[in-house]
Amino acid sequence: MPPKKQQKSKQHQQASTSAGGEDDNSKIAVITPTILRQLIINYFPPQLLRGMNYQEAGLTSTEPIYDGGLAIIEKILKNVNTRLQMYGPPSKIVRALKEFRQFEGSQDQLDIDWGDPFMPQLVHRIGVICLKEFELRIRPAKEPFEIMPFLEQEIGERFSAFEDVKVINEDDKEEFKFEPNLNQKTFDFVYKTFLKLLEFPNVDSEEEEEEEKEEEKEEEKEKEEEREKEKEEEKEEDEEEEEDEEEEEDEEEEEEEEEEDEEEKEEVDSKEFALHNTDELKWVLREHFEENPPTIDPAGFTEISYFTSYYIKLLYDLCEKVLERILDRKKGNKKTRNMSPNATDNEPFVMRAELERAIKCYYIEGESDADESDGESRIDFLTTIPYNEEDFEKKYGNKIVFVNVAIPTVRCRARPIMMLDSDYCILSLHALIQMWHELVFGRKIFQKMDTVDANNFMNILARLLQKHFTVEKATEGHVNADIEGKKCPLFINLEAVKEIQYEIDDLCEGMNEGEKDIQIEDHQPTTPQYLTGRLQMLNIPKTFPETNKKFQELIKKKQIDFSKEVFFKKLEEALFADFIGRFEPLKEFVLSQAPLAFQ
């Protein structure tokens, strides 16, 4: 085994489990201030981050932090950007950012380099590649190494991180002399050995070997010519000497032939290097690290030995999982594909576009021709249909199995979900809430409006939204459409969300946005005076008189035993329901997504 990590496990465990989330899914890479900055920029409404001094907030360093960013968030809420206080205490914000970072699709869709040496998405991504590239119905994979050619590019890109790793001596640690012990030659040797382990054809090394063989042939030819010249010159010498010389030459030639045979045998052995034989790579790494005990620059990756051993484990796990799917080695097990996210725990559904894609993939007789009539809507909106597990099993056998995945509710930024075609979508209801949140608490658009201006603005906004969020899109072809109380979940492509946001930006252009900050000084219970003051500050009595009336009734009945943070959540929900309730088409759409929204 490669040498164990030195003085790493304790800190890494702290980083993996800090700031909420104690399950295995929470164990992700050590966070850095720059990564935390990217999370903040992508999570909160951009209007709330205007003028924020990231250097003062401590968000410019690349050194790892082991509290999940808790200390930095505490500093931001207290001194740098108090507007973010309405999202809760520092621990809750850190947990929200961490969940946003972990959610499948977030890392790729946001195009953020998390600096994660453990590559939590690797097995999933490679699994998708394998299942896409293999024509399972024609030629299933027989052995693990048949999968490996599809991984060469992925592994090459990730393994190239070796070139950027900075290795320093223990003695030079305090002086910060980043002179690498792992030079290019050593890296090339380890990398080529690793490629042999994975049975990847290394084109460069093969070309080099061919060139070396050509050079050896030319050298051998020159030697042979020299020998012939020597023989001609030595013809006049004594026959015994001539015979002795010939015998010596024969012995030399035999030795050379034996050496060449040995080299060819070694080449054959190296080409036949099996996937499950890691002894050579382990030996290479062990020898190198015994001579050069590494300490990696904290801004780079963890120790190379640990990185490599974990990488090998990932590949073994990958082979087992993919082969189980392809060969169905475990009798009685179904070939599972995580085809669809699920919005609730008790209402399973699959996306129709994904179902059609899966049917095409397996060439199920009678179902291979997809309905193209709504092809345009599938680009922007992936309509869903519910499914019955028993019916699916009868109809499709073990060829398609859909796994339910819970989609967390959204606060200020919806979680991106990666689809099979590599597009990203979010639940359409989450998209609607996200846009409303940015208008109310990001732009604070209603703070400087009177009643007439607010009504006119909401009328125009409703007409804009009704073009994209309609009950027809949600219920068309949906089995639950005629069943009272049943959801018809609808997804919307993130590209479509961007287009809608551009339209809203144009609508808001030239309007005066609110200047008063929305913040929470603490998280103590509210008082009647606090509620009344905040409602006035947000201009609720003029712009949303019905919502104001409801809160005044709560104050009158003394039913305000909730914190200031909860007050802002309740206020946002009430404003959203007030706005949606004014326009029947939008109300019907929301009810199709959340039947209990107005109860």
The predicted structure's pLDDT at residue 586: 94
Q: Report which of residues 212 and 150 the model is more confident about.
A: 212
Q: Is the pLDDT of residue 320 over 70?
A: no
What pLDDT does residue 27 have?
Answer: 35
What is the residue whose two structure tokens read 């519910």? 386
**Best-predicted range by mean pLDDT among 17-26, 278-287, 299-308, 502-511?**
502-511
pLDDT of 527 over the 70 cut: yes
pLDDT at 110: 54
> Does the structure show a pLDDT above 80 at 250?
no
Residue 46 has pLDDT above 70, yes or no: yes
Work out the average pLDDT over 258-267.
56
Amino acid identity, position 533: G
| Residue 215: per-residue pLDDT | 67
The yes-or-no verdict on residue 178 having pLDDT over 90 is no
Q: Which residues on adjacent β-strands are paired with residue 425?
A: 417, 493
Please answer whether residues 158 and 122 qualify as being in contact, where contact means their C-beta atoms are separated by less than 8 angstroms. yes
Look at residue 262 in the predicted model and tell me its pLDDT: 58
Residue 308 pLDDT class (50, 70, 90 cuts): very low
- Report pLDDT for 581: 93
- Unique residue bearing structure tokens 């309740």: 570
* DSSP designation for 414: P
Between 9 and 318, name the one with better pLDDT: 318
Rounded to two decimals, the pTM is: 0.52
Q: Do the beta carbons of residue 430 and residue 490 sit within 8 Å?
A: no
Mean pLDDT within 483-500: 81
Average pLDDT over residues 386-414: 64
Evaluate if residue 71 carries a pLDDT over 80.
Answer: yes
Q: What is the DSSP string of 516-564?
A: S----S--SBP-HHHHHHHHHHTTHHHH-HHHHHHHHHHHHTT---SBH
pLDDT band at 175 (very low <50, low <70, confident <90, very high): very low
Strand partners, 342: 406
Q: Which residue has the tokens 């050896």?
A: 216
Domain ranges of the chain: 9-110, 122-199+279-327, 411-599
Rounded distance between C-alpha atoms, residue 137 and residue 358, angstroms: 12
Q: 405: closest CA among 352, 338, 354?
A: 338
Q: Of residues 181 and 402, which shows the higher confidence score?
A: 402
| The pLDDT of residue 401 | 55
DSSP string, 126-175: HHHHHHHHS-TTT----SGGGTGGGGHHHHHHHHGGGGG--EE-STTTTT
Burial class (CB in 10 A: 0-12, 13-18, 19+), 136: middle
Question: 582 vs 29, 42, 594, CA distance in Å?
Answer: 46, 31, 17
Confidence of residue 351 (pLDDT cuts 50, 70, 90): low
- Would you give the DSSP letter of residue 479? G
The better pLDDT of the pair 90, 212 is held by: 90
Q: List the strands of the sheet with 349-351, edge to edge.
A: 349-351, 381-386, 490-493, 424-427, 417-418
Judged against a pLDDT cut of 60, whether residue 2 lies above it is answered with no
Instruction: Give 476-484's long-range contacts (Cβ < 8 A, gap of 24+).
Output: 476/374, 476/377, 476/383, 477/352, 477/374, 477/383, 477/385, 478/383, 478/384, 478/385, 478/386, 479/385, 479/386, 480/386
Task: Assess contact for 385 and 350: CB atoms under 8 A.
Answer: yes
Q: What is the pLDDT of residue 295?
A: 41
Coil, helix or strand at residue 296: strand
Work out the average pLDDT over 137-165. Answer: 44
Highest mean pLDDT among 62-71, 196-205, 239-248, 370-379: 62-71
392-401 long-range contacts (CB < 8 A, ≥24 apart) are: 396/362, 396/364, 398/328, 398/334, 398/335, 399/335, 399/362, 399/364, 400/337, 400/339, 400/355, 400/358, 400/359, 400/362, 401/334, 401/335, 401/336, 401/337
d(CA 540, CA 534) in angstroms, rounded, equals 9
What does the pLDDT read at residue 389? 64
User: How far out from the chain centre does Cα 460 lie?
Assistant: 37
Other C-beta atoms lying within 10 Å of the C-beta of residue 160: 11
Q: Give the per-residue pLDDT at 332.
A: 45
Q: What is the pLDDT of residue 500?
A: 92
- How do residues 569-586 score in pLDDT, each as one tens digit? 889 889 999 999 999 999
Section 219-229 average pLDDT: 76
Can you tell me the mean pLDDT for 380-402?
A: 62
Q: What's the pLDDT score for residue 504?
A: 92
The highest-confidence range among 26-40, 162-176, 184-198, by mean pLDDT, is: 26-40
Give the mean model confidence (pLDDT) for residues 89-93. 88
**Which of 283 and 397 is assigned the larger pLDDT?**
397
pLDDT of 245 higher than 50: yes
**pLDDT tens per residue across span 549-561:** 999 999 888 888 8
Helices and strands counted in the chain (H then E) = 24, 7
CA distance 117 to 159: 10
Instruction: Give strand ranges (E) for 15-88.
Output: none
Predicted pLDDT at 580:
94
Tally Cβ neighbours within 10 Å of residue 200: 17
More confident residue, 337 or 529: 529
Residue 198: predicted pLDDT:
40
Return d(Cα 178, Cα 262) in angstroms, integer: 41
Q: How confident is the model at residue 294 (pLDDT cuts 50, 70, 90)?
A: very low
What is residue 544's predicted lDDT score, i.e. its pLDDT? Answer: 95
Average pLDDT (25-43) is 70
- Is the pLDDT assigned to residue 166 strictly greater than 70? no
**What pLDDT, on a 0 to 100 scale, did the predictor assign at position 549?**
93
How far apart CA 333 and CA 68 sit, in angstroms, is: 39
pLDDT of the residue at 384: 63
Task: Say which range, 176-190, 434-448, 532-546, 562-576, has the weakest mean pLDDT.
Answer: 176-190
| Mean per-residue pLDDT, 524-532 | 84
φ, ψ of residue 351 to 5 degrees: the values are: -80, 130
Q: Specify the range with the lowest mean pLDDT, choosing from 37-41, 44-48, 187-191, 327-331.
A: 327-331
User: Residue with structure tokens 């007030």?
Assistant: 578
